[in-house]
């Protein structure tokens, strides 16, 4: 699968450094990964069509707030046709965009369910915005169809469930070490997004 659907909007120049993925917490191997914010838990979410989970919100915010990326996540306001005024004669500010002339794609927020999602092509290092429904369908299609589980596979799944139910609380030192590693990954992402001149 290489072609993206026609209703995907290509974000030419969107910065998506390799350092983002470890900082965000996505460890999968999918070529295409979707991201959005959900008000359910107030979290940044990633999905590759097979796995959907919370990513590290700060890495997601850093990526979207980069000035280059933030500008690409806007589109012309349709009521005022990108002019910022709703009435040419009186120059009244457009109510929809507050006179800015552009609107942001709704990638979700603490108050709103996303209508669009950011889709990354990790192989080509490209980014797209897509309607959530189309994006999720596209991400699912990058995987081969699931086959029925055999009795052995079902037994393995049941064993994994038992093991997971018996798991102990992590050691506080392990938690501190994981937090330090997350800070280091965020610092690497910051350096990739905002390199210091030499």
Per-residue pLDDT of the chain (198 residues; tens, 9 = 90+): 568 888 899 999 999 999 999 999 999 999 999 999 999 999 999 999 999 999 999 999 999 999 999 999 998 888 887 888 877 666 788 888 888 888 889 999 999 999 999 999 999 999 999 999 999 999 999 998 877 777 788 888 888 888 888 888 888 899 899 999 999 999 999 999 998 876
Sole residue written with tokens 């506080």: 172
**Burial label, 102 (beta-carbon count in 10 A; 0-12, 13-18, 19+):** middle
Does residue 106 sit within a domain?
A: yes
* CA atoms within 13 A of residue 49's CA, in its CB half-sphere: 21
pTM: 0.79
Does residue 3 sit within a domain?
A: no
Of 124, 170, 145, which Cα lies nearest the Cα of 4?
A: 124
Does residue 85 sit within a domain?
A: yes
Does residue 129 sit within a domain?
A: yes
Q: What is the pLDDT of residue 88?
A: 65
What are the structure tokens assigned to 155, written together?
């037994």
d(CA 61, CA 73): 13
What are the structure tokens assigned to 184, written together?
């280091």
Does residue 1 sit within a domain?
A: no
Does residue 4 sit within a domain?
A: no
What residues have CB less than 8 Å from 179, skipping those under 6 apart? none
Indicate the angle between helix axes 57-65 and 172-193, nearest 10 degrees.
10
Of 59, 66, 30, which Cα lies nearest the Cα of 45?
A: 59
Does residue 91 sit within a domain?
A: yes
What are the structure tokens assigned to 149, written together?
């589980």
Does residue 2 sit within a domain?
A: no
What's the total number of domains in the chain?
1
d(CA 53, CA 28): 11
Instruction: Quote the domain boundaries for residue 158.
Output: 9-193
Of 57, 60, 92, 91, which Cα lies nearest the Cα of 73?
A: 60
Number of H helices, E strands in the chain: 6, 10
Q: What is the pLDDT of residue 159?
A: 85
């Amino acid at each position: 699968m290489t072609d993206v659907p026609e209703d995907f909007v290509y974000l030419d120049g969107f910065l998506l450094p390799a350092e983002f993925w470890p900082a965000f917490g996505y460890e999968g191997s999918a070529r295409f990964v979707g991201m959005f914010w959900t008000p359910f838990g107030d979290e940044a979410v990633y999905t590759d069509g097979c796995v959907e989970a919370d990513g590290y919100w700060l890495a997601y915010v850093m990526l979207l707030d980069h000035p280059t990326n933030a500008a690409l996540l806007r589109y012309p306001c349709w009521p005022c046709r990108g002019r910022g005024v709703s009435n040419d004669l009186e120059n009244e500010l457009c109510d929809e965009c507050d006179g800015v002339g552009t609107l942001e794609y709704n990638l979700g927020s603490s108050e709103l369910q996303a209508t669009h999602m950011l889709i990354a092509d990790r192989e080509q290092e490209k980014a797209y915005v897509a309607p959530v429904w189309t994006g999720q369908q596209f991400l699912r299609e990058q995987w081969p169809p699931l086959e029925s589980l055999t009795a052995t596979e079902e037994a393995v799944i049941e064993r994994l469930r038992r093991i997971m139910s018996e798991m102990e609380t992590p050691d506080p030192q392990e938690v501190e070490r994981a937090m330090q590693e997350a800070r280091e990954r965020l610092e690497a992402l910051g350096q990739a997004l905002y390199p210091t001149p030499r």
